[in-house]
Amino acid sequence: MQFKTHLAFSFLVSLFLIDYLKIKNQILFLITALLFSILPDLDEYSSKISKKLRPLSYITNLLFKHRSLFHSIWIPVILSSVFFSINQMISIAILAGYLSHLILDALTIKGITPLIPINKKIRGFIKVNSLLEDLIFYILVIIIIFKLI
Protein backbone atom coordinates (compact mmCIF):
# COMPACT_ATOMS: atom_id res chain seq x y z
CA MET A 1 0.00 0.00 0.00
CA GLN A 2 0.98 3.60 -0.45
CA PHE A 3 2.33 5.88 2.27
CA LYS A 4 -0.91 7.87 2.42
CA THR A 5 -3.08 4.76 2.76
CA HIS A 6 -0.97 3.46 5.64
CA LEU A 7 -1.21 6.80 7.42
CA ALA A 8 -4.97 7.08 6.90
CA PHE A 9 -5.66 3.56 8.16
CA SER A 10 -3.41 3.98 11.19
CA PHE A 11 -5.04 7.32 11.96
CA LEU A 12 -8.49 5.75 11.87
CA VAL A 13 -7.45 2.77 14.01
CA SER A 14 -5.86 5.21 16.48
CA LEU A 15 -9.02 7.29 16.72
CA PHE A 16 -11.03 4.22 17.67
CA LEU A 17 -8.39 3.06 20.17
CA ILE A 18 -8.20 6.52 21.77
CA ASP A 19 -11.95 6.39 22.39
CA TYR A 20 -12.08 2.75 23.46
CA LEU A 21 -9.04 2.86 25.75
CA LYS A 22 -9.69 6.39 27.02
CA ILE A 23 -6.17 7.50 26.04
CA LYS A 24 -5.22 10.71 27.84
CA ASN A 25 -2.22 11.85 25.77
CA GLN A 26 -3.97 11.57 22.42
CA ILE A 27 -1.44 13.57 20.37
CA LEU A 28 1.50 11.43 21.51
CA PHE A 29 -0.54 8.29 20.86
CA LEU A 30 -1.41 9.44 17.32
CA ILE A 31 2.12 10.52 16.44
CA THR A 32 3.57 7.24 17.72
CA ALA A 33 1.03 5.11 15.86
CA LEU A 34 1.51 7.08 12.63
CA LEU A 35 5.30 6.81 12.83
CA PHE A 36 5.16 3.07 13.42
CA SER A 37 2.60 2.63 10.64
CA ILE A 38 5.24 3.62 8.09
CA LEU A 39 8.28 2.07 9.81
CA PRO A 40 7.93 -1.39 8.19
CA ASP A 41 8.83 0.17 4.84
CA LEU A 42 12.26 1.08 6.15
CA ASP A 43 13.37 -2.07 4.30
CA GLU A 44 12.23 -0.55 0.97
CA TYR A 45 14.98 1.79 -0.23
CA SER A 46 12.60 4.01 -2.24
CA SER A 47 10.00 4.50 0.51
CA LYS A 48 9.42 7.90 2.12
CA ILE A 49 10.67 6.75 5.51
CA SER A 50 13.81 5.28 3.96
CA LYS A 51 14.57 8.57 2.28
CA LYS A 52 14.30 10.36 5.65
CA LEU A 53 16.35 7.76 7.52
CA ARG A 54 18.86 6.94 4.78
CA PRO A 55 21.72 5.52 6.94
CA LEU A 56 19.38 3.23 8.87
CA SER A 57 17.57 2.31 5.67
CA TYR A 58 20.86 1.41 4.01
CA ILE A 59 21.65 -1.03 6.81
CA THR A 60 18.18 -2.63 6.77
CA ASN A 61 18.38 -2.98 2.98
CA LEU A 62 21.70 -4.79 3.29
CA LEU A 63 20.38 -7.19 5.93
CA PHE A 64 16.78 -7.78 4.84
CA LYS A 65 14.80 -7.90 1.65
CA HIS A 66 11.56 -5.94 1.38
CA ARG A 67 8.57 -7.53 3.09
CA SER A 68 10.63 -10.02 5.02
CA LEU A 69 11.45 -9.55 8.74
CA PHE A 70 10.14 -5.97 8.87
CA HIS A 71 6.79 -7.21 7.57
CA SER A 72 6.45 -9.97 10.16
CA ILE A 73 4.81 -9.86 13.56
CA TRP A 74 8.17 -10.24 15.32
CA ILE A 75 9.30 -6.60 15.06
CA PRO A 76 6.10 -5.04 16.49
CA VAL A 77 5.93 -7.66 19.24
CA ILE A 78 9.55 -7.00 20.24
CA LEU A 79 9.21 -3.20 20.07
CA SER A 80 5.91 -3.20 21.94
CA SER A 81 7.31 -5.52 24.61
CA VAL A 82 10.35 -3.31 25.15
CA PHE A 83 8.20 -0.20 25.58
CA PHE A 84 5.52 -1.92 27.68
CA SER A 85 7.46 -1.61 30.92
CA ILE A 86 8.30 2.03 30.14
CA ASN A 87 4.90 3.26 28.95
CA GLN A 88 1.92 1.03 28.17
CA MET A 89 0.20 3.70 26.07
CA ILE A 90 3.25 4.03 23.80
CA SER A 91 3.48 0.24 23.63
CA ILE A 92 -0.12 0.02 22.41
CA ALA A 93 0.42 2.84 19.89
CA ILE A 94 3.49 1.05 18.49
CA LEU A 95 1.55 -2.17 18.15
CA ALA A 96 -1.48 -0.46 16.60
CA GLY A 97 0.54 1.50 14.06
CA TYR A 98 2.81 -1.34 13.03
CA LEU A 99 0.02 -3.93 12.83
CA SER A 100 -2.13 -1.54 10.80
CA HIS A 101 0.67 -1.51 8.21
CA LEU A 102 0.90 -5.30 8.19
CA ILE A 103 -2.87 -5.69 7.83
CA LEU A 104 -2.98 -3.44 4.78
CA ASP A 105 0.04 -5.06 3.14
CA ALA A 106 -1.51 -8.49 3.75
CA LEU A 107 -4.40 -7.33 1.55
CA THR A 108 -2.08 -6.69 -1.41
CA ILE A 109 -1.18 -9.12 -4.18
CA LYS A 110 2.44 -9.22 -2.95
CA GLY A 111 1.25 -10.06 0.56
CA ILE A 112 3.37 -10.62 3.66
CA THR A 113 4.99 -13.53 5.50
CA PRO A 114 3.93 -12.68 9.06
CA LEU A 115 5.55 -15.63 10.83
CA ILE A 116 9.03 -15.63 9.28
CA PRO A 117 10.88 -18.03 9.17
CA ILE A 118 7.70 -19.98 8.42
CA ASN A 119 7.18 -19.21 4.74
CA LYS A 120 3.38 -19.14 4.77
CA LYS A 121 2.36 -16.00 2.88
CA ILE A 122 -0.85 -14.08 3.33
CA ARG A 123 -1.95 -12.45 0.09
CA GLY A 124 -4.89 -10.35 -0.89
CA PHE A 125 -6.28 -8.98 -4.11
CA ILE A 126 -5.32 -5.29 -4.05
CA LYS A 127 -2.65 -4.02 -6.37
CA VAL A 128 -0.48 -1.29 -4.82
CA ASN A 129 -1.07 2.17 -6.30
CA SER A 130 -4.20 1.00 -8.10
CA LEU A 131 -7.61 2.56 -8.51
CA LEU A 132 -8.92 0.17 -5.83
CA GLU A 133 -6.29 1.33 -3.36
CA ASP A 134 -7.16 4.95 -4.11
CA LEU A 135 -10.81 4.14 -3.46
CA ILE A 136 -9.89 2.53 -0.14
CA PHE A 137 -7.87 5.62 0.79
CA TYR A 138 -10.81 7.96 0.06
CA ILE A 139 -13.20 5.73 2.00
CA LEU A 140 -10.79 5.83 4.96
CA VAL A 141 -10.64 9.63 4.75
CA ILE A 142 -14.44 9.88 4.70
CA ILE A 143 -14.72 7.57 7.73
CA ILE A 144 -12.06 9.64 9.54
CA ILE A 145 -14.01 12.84 8.86
CA PHE A 146 -17.22 11.30 10.19
CA LYS A 147 -15.37 9.95 13.24
CA LEU A 148 -13.95 13.40 13.99
CA ILE A 149 -17.31 15.16 13.65
pTM, entire model: 0.91
Q: Do the Cβ atoms of 21 and 96 come closer than 8 Å? A: no
Residue 86 and residue 28: Cα distance in Å, rounded? Answer: 14
To the nearest 10 degrees (0 to 180), the angle between helices 3-21 and 88-106 is 140
The pLDDT score that the predictor gives to residue 46 is 76
- Predicted confidence band of residue 145 (pLDDT cuts 50, 70, 90): very high
What's the DSSP call for residue 24? S
Instruction: Report the pLDDT value the prediction gives residue 43, as an integer from 0 to 100.
Output: 79
Q: How far apart are CA 69 and CA 119, in angstroms?
A: 11
Q: How far apart (Å, rounded) are the C-alpha atoms in residues 4 and 38?
A: 9
CA-closest candidate to residue 56, choices 71, 68, 67, 41: 41
Tens digits of residue pLDDT in 22-71: 999 999 999 999 999 999 988 777 778 777 777 776 677 666 666 778 88
Question: pLDDT of 62-118, one tens digit each?
Answer: 666 667 788 899 999 999 999 999 999 999 999 999 999 999 999 999 999 999 889
